[in-house]
Structure 1
């Protein structure tokens, strides 16, 4: 009896390792061998081949920034959570200027070097297996306003009139103040915790937490993240569905509340055209700065001092076209700007304007302008992205509307943001959807209007009701 109980005890002790018969269970297979390689130092956009990086998918940024307005000094502590898409021996982040003090990968010190204009090259203590989620912590600092920038819509870190600072720019923005995979192809969540002296206010993307803390839970393209530090007056409210609205007005911009207060009305109108508002929050950052552009920073656009109601409509439309549905390549910028610009016409139509009359008047003015019609709206070439999309792009979309009719056009405006919500899309995707929705072959029309460099023939220039 004792001998039998002992045998049973032995069987119970090894039940998960071997059967009582003595046959061993098969050992789990060893992990496949790794073949670590460096991640690419660019994401593949032909216009900006050095932008972004390969080998991983950024999932989220946690940015901790301490900024001293009098000295202009910033100390940053950013953690990038990412998933390896290959076996990685090393990988890059984008960071412009600023001195890097230390880098850790999953809590262990990592080697790092700076290469080219803005590559931060990180070598982890051991290779990272494909499919692994890893965290990279970078501590850094300096005066971001001293980092050179390209001008135009690349604004760099700027000091504001009240002694604070703000950061807006396109296509380059985020890498001026935190390490990032700076490409719209790799969207990620974003959290900012900012520390500033008493009397200063920090405004950023998404939902407001404790003072200086902002969280955007929806994926965001990095150039659409922002920070503004100033002596702001802040208004807080909610949309009818409970979405929080935070609008901040810099000293000298307080009178813009008359414009900012119309945001719920504008978003309600656009939701009727494009579908439900896709963002986690709403509002605006109203600067008293004479920069030559406003920018659709996600959830909370940043407005120059000259911005008025039409600009509010434009930047609000971007929350669907450009922010929620983001481009993959900068050659497809018409997906952002043509539609946001046409939203201004839709608003004017709401106010009683006859868009066909407005269109014909614009054709009369531009008919003899070779420069106007030579601007491509798709595949325009690096450096020419923002030349035709704000004016010729409006005419092209109105012509498309008349070509396919209002029912199909309205469905297109609604279905596009729904189909690619919080993702990326291409101009080819849009042409495919337009063809499917309209049930027509539109290849020649798109060639003439969006890839063409000449005044369209009358059949394409005056389609549908525009012929009468």
Structure 2
């Protein structure tokens, strides 16, 4: 969704590109002052300091309709599948455009049309090109627009693409994106893995709704975000599973996981649909732990709704895969767990539905707003269930930060490869508890609710959070936040 932060950031990226002589803009995009109205290409990146090539400028995506045909590995010893797909993307121009870009990695485009008209492959202003440069982490599909697109106009771009799937890795070497497994695929995108399976404006600030139509061999189950759209359709040995995600969603939170899942259906507060998919190979103690944790989802939702306001989406649930990857991700409405879902992890990923999914980080450096809150929610749940007081968990965390000398990291800017490091979670949660102690329960929870209401289905920054908390408490908190989030020394304890 367009907001002022995103507009300023894209403008800065465009200025930088022009100053560099258009570096990073494919020749197929044409001149930035092409004809009356000064039509220009959209920027080839959103301007995120950690992932400058991720995302794109000049448009907002309104809806992704993804038609995916997936053949999993034929033998578990060779983890390679085949994806053949069509993405139909409805978007609105936020500037006068003569070309636009999508992020797409490792898959080859075979055809593009705009509003039903074929776009040829080539180097002309009305043609499309694809660049994939793994060394610079630049993966761009550039689509020339003729007729050009005026600011405010909508267009539908349809892209045919496909190729072999494997085990893509992020900048730290961790698996992410469309991760091929022996029985299907575990699809987990954070931070910039979405382009490994669909053409996308991979910017957390550009939220959209989604439709998924996932065709897999008969007997396999495909699970995505949101709610099922009718019954699975079987034809010629293949099954098509359709899902609709009607709530705005950042691309890193989308999933289309495939495996030998058993689906179960339940209800939470106010009749909220809860859909769980558990791999049939999750057995024994792992299955017992998983079933016990998932059974608590309705109570967890009630508890967090009482604190932070009604659950923000149309459904919830889980995908529990037996893949060997040690992974859990808050994919919107349906978190993914690898191997086992434990109680603390389930409430952590549930907490993200408010903090991270409904309100997403404007830049990836603001990730502590996701992970600090989700970790603090673990503490709140443990206190609620009598496992440990919040005060004791705070003391234990401070001791861990002390013993590991982990106060040195500025968690408002941890660095690209430290997004998921311990201090982001631990110092973030400790800072929230210290804030609660400083301003009192009433102001703390009022501020949290205001944060969620004001920025719902959007994105925001650390500075935005500080302002909300200052307004809620009526106090100047700049020194406090610097002490607890940014400074390299141990902060003064509450």
Question: TM-score, with normalisation over the residues of structure 2?
Answer: 0.83
Question: Superposition pairs for residues 81-120 of structure 1, below 5 Å?
Answer: 81-110=90-119, 111-115=127-131, 116=133, 117-120=138-141
Taking a change above 3 Å as real, the CA distance of residues 361 and 226 of structure 1, as seen in their structure-2 partners, is: closer
Question: Superposition pairs for residues 69-468 of structure 1, below 5 Å?
Answer: 69-70=72-73, 72-110=81-119, 111-115=127-131, 116=133, 117-145=138-166, 149-161=170-182, 163-210=183-230, 211=232, 212-253=241-282, 255=287, 256-352=290-386, 353-370=388-405, 372-387=406-421, 388-456=423-491, 460-461=492-493, 463=494
In the other structure, the counterpart of 2:61 is 58
Answer yes or no: is the 8 Å Cα contact 2:268–2:297 preserved in 1: no
In the other structure, the counterpart of 1:3 is none
Q: What secondary structure, in the 3-state scheme, does the structure 2 residue paired with 1:165 have?
A: strand
Write the deviation string for residues 96-153 of structure 1: whole angstroms up to 9, x where unpaired.
0111110001111122111243101111232111111001000011112265654555
Q: What secondary structure, in the 3-state scheme, does the structure 1 residue paired with 2:270 have?
A: coil
Write the deviation string for residues 191-219 of structure 1: whole angstroms up to 9, x where unpaired.
10111121111100001112211111111
In the other structure, the counterpart of 1:49 is 52
- Could you tell me how far apart the structure 2 residues matched to 1:246 and 1:46 are? 37
Answer yes or no: is the 8 Å Cα contact 1:290–1:306 preserved in 2: no
Taking a change above 3 Å as real, the CA distance of residues 38 and 382 of structure 1, as seen in their structure-2 partners, is: same
- Could you tell me how far apart the structure 1 residues matched to 2:399 and 2:203 are? 39
Task: Please identify which structure carries the higher strand content.
Answer: 2
Q: What secondary structure, in the 3-state scheme, does the structure 2 residue paired with 1:290 have?
A: coil
Q: What secondary structure, in the 3-state scheme, does the structure 1 residue paired with 2:307 have?
A: helix
Taking a change above 3 Å as real, the CA distance of residues 81 and 365 of structure 1, as seen in their structure-2 partners, is: closer
Superposition deviation, residue 448 in structure 1 = 0.6
Q: What is the total number of aligned residue pairs between the two structures?
A: 426
- Could you tell me how far apart the structure 2 residues matched to 1:345 and 1:270 are? 12
Superposition deviation, residue 368 in structure 1 = 5.0
Answer yes or no: is the 8 Å Cα contact 2:253–2:331 preserved in 1: yes
Taking a change above 3 Å as real, the CA distance of residues 297 and 265 of structure 1, as seen in their structure-2 partners, is: same
Name the stretch that deviates more: 245-254 or 194-203: 245-254
Taking a change above 3 Å as real, the CA distance of residues 34 and 413 of structure 1, as seen in their structure-2 partners, is: same
Question: TM-score, with normalisation over the residues of structure 1?
Answer: 0.88
In the other structure, the counterpart of 2:28 is none
Write the deviation string for residues 27-51 of structure 1: whole angstroms up to 9, x where unpaired.
xxxxx94321111000111111111
Structure 1 consecutive aligned stretches of length 4 or more whose deviation exceeds 4 Å: 146-149, 151-154
- Could you tell me how far apart the structure 2 residues matched to 1:125 and 1:415 are? 44
Answer yes or no: is the 8 Å Cα contact 1:52–1:181 preserved in 2: yes
Q: Note the residue ranges of structure 2 that are not aligned, 5 or more in a row.
A: 1-34, 75-80, 120-126, 233-240
Superposition deviation, residue 408 in structure 1 = 1.1
- Could you tell me how far apart the structure 2 residues matched to 1:430 and 1:366 are? 23
Taking a change above 3 Å as real, the CA distance of residues 355 and 100 of structure 1, as seen in their structure-2 partners, is: same
Taking a change above 3 Å as real, the CA distance of residues 452 and 236 of structure 1, as seen in their structure-2 partners, is: same
CA RMSD of aligned residues (A): 1.7
- Could you tell me how far apart the structure 1 residues matched to 2:140 and 2:383 are? 47
- Could you tell me how far apart the structure 2 residues matched to 1:355 and 1:443 are? 25
- Could you tell me how far apart the structure 1 residues matched to 2:382 and 2:249 are? 29
Superposition deviation, residue 381 in structure 1 = 2.5
Taking a change above 3 Å as real, the CA distance of residues 436 and 109 of structure 1, as seen in their structure-2 partners, is: same
Answer yes or no: is the 8 Å Cα contact 2:194–2:200 preserved in 1: yes
Superposition deviation, residue 230 in structure 1 = 1.0
- Could you tell me how far apart the structure 2 residues matched to 1:448 and 1:335 are? 16
- Could you tell me how far apart the structure 2 residues matched to 1:335 and 1:230 are? 32
